[in-house]
Copies of this chain bind each other. A is one copy, B any other.
Amino acid sequence: MDKREQLVRMAFDLFYRDGIHAVGINRVLAESGIAKKTLYHHFPGKNDLVAAAVEYRNQVFVQWLEQRLDAVTGREAMMSLFDALDDWFNGRDDDLQHFHGCFFINVSAEFGDPEHPIHRLCAIHKQQVAAVVRQKLAVWLDDSDKVEALLDMLLLLKEGAIVQAHVVGDKQAALKAKGAAQALLDAARV
């Protein structure tokens, strides 16, 4: 693996665990065993490394989600969404590392200005996740208004579950969200 990718992965690991501002460039270098010059050869500055870490995580997460929803369709796919979250929260998933909340929510907290490029990347990630779920809904339901309305509600439950799991430590949050999702799908008669 090339040094650039090693740096990005190690940076993500540390940023996800301890936060962006709490992790210095020197720690990323020490833990990855890579020279400082090499880092500044690949990235103009820390912010660019942060951006690369965010994009890396985006790619990993979206791929993970697509895979988890791959084999199922319709209502079952929506249930799989929350089952996947449940596995994540409870450490039954190898792909996403130990759960420390949503990396993108965490990064948005540290880069609070919505105009900041790094905050924007987080917003884009959420939109990409939304697109994955929307596609699953769209092939199932004809009414595109209903698709959008259900999508909004399901994503609210998903974000809520992640927050509850991280802030309060409620590891059942995904299952509670799944229950709510079932009730909403029932109410929409789908």
Contact = CB atoms under 8 A, between A and B. Distances in A.
A91 interface: no
Contacts of A21: 19, 21-22, 110
Interface residues of A, number: 48
Contact of A114 (B127, B159, B169): B169
Nearest to A23: B21
Given A21-B19, A169-B123, A183-B187, A176 B152 contact: yes
Interface string A161-190: 111101111000100110110011011100
Interface string A138-170: 000000000001001101111111111011110
Contact of A168 (B101, B127, B164, B180): B127
Which residue, of A17, A21, A153, A167, has the highest number of chain B Cβ atoms within 10 A?
A167
Contact of A179 (B153, B155, B166, B186): B153
A106 interface: yes
Oligomer: number of copies: 2
A173 to B, nearest CB: 7
Nearest to A173: B156
Contact of A164 (B110, B155, B177): B155
A109 B112 contact: no
A80 interface: no
A133 to B, nearest CB: 13
A88 interface: no
A126 interface: yes
17 contacts: A19-B109, A101-B112, A105-B105, A105-B167, A106-B112, A107-B109, A119-B167, A123-B167, A152-B180, A153-B179, A156-B160, A156-B176, A157-B160, A157-B180, A159-B159, A184-B184, A184-B187
